[in-house]
Amino acid sequence: MTIKVGDKIPSATLTTMTADGPAPVSTDEYFAGRKVALFSVPGAFTPTCSAKHLPGFIERADEILGKGVDEIACMAVNDVFVMNAWGKSAAAEGKVTMLADGNAAFAQSLGLEMDASGFGMGKRSKRFSMVVDDGKVVALNVEEPGAFQVSSADHMIGQL
């Protein structure tokens, strides 16, 4: 079943890079007691993700945070090392937290996984964005395959 507005974020473990190396991130703890703007891309370093999606959230981070969001996070079905390298190359540090869903377990628990085997990419996350307030989804924007409109930073700003 696909997650919808009003649902609680499912329990899962993502990974982020810290100064001490990879660290687990419990979704129960991460989303508790705060507002998070989460967006997900099919893959780090892929064309639309690198040219538009991540840069939009980096460029508009101050505006998003100024609307009451505590943290902006980017998730992809990539390993934590790739997510860290992508964040560094895009100058995301201090603006967007990079979260790895290496085995697509979180994407599957959300019902937002897709099969990109035809492109040699295996299981991935659909392109989406959501606003999560204290663990509850208050806005959800899932793109049609190949599209990039409703999951953008610009669209999310209009929802905040």
Q: How far apart are CA 75 and CA 33, in angstroms?
A: 20
Judge whether 31 and 135 are in contact, CB under 8 Å: yes
Read off the pLDDT band of 31 (50, 70, 90).
very high
Domain annotation covers residue 129: yes
| Annotation marks residue 74 as catalytic | no
Domain annotation covers residue 3: no
- Choose, from 36, 37, 44, 49, the residue flagged as catalytic: 49
Q: Which domain holds residue 108?
A: 13-159
Q: Report pLDDT digits (tens) over 88-99.
A: 999 999 999 999
Domain annotation covers residue 68: yes
Domain annotation covers residue 2: no
Domain annotation covers residue 108: yes
Domain annotation covers residue 6: no
**pLDDT > 70? residue 18:** yes
Model pLDDT, residue 124: 77
Domain annotation covers residue 23: yes
Read off the pLDDT band of 85 (50, 70, 90).
very high
CATH number at residue 20: 3.40.30.10
Domain annotation covers residue 118: yes
Task: Count up the domains in the chain and report the number.
Answer: 1
Model pLDDT, residue 122: 61
Model pLDDT, residue 114: 72
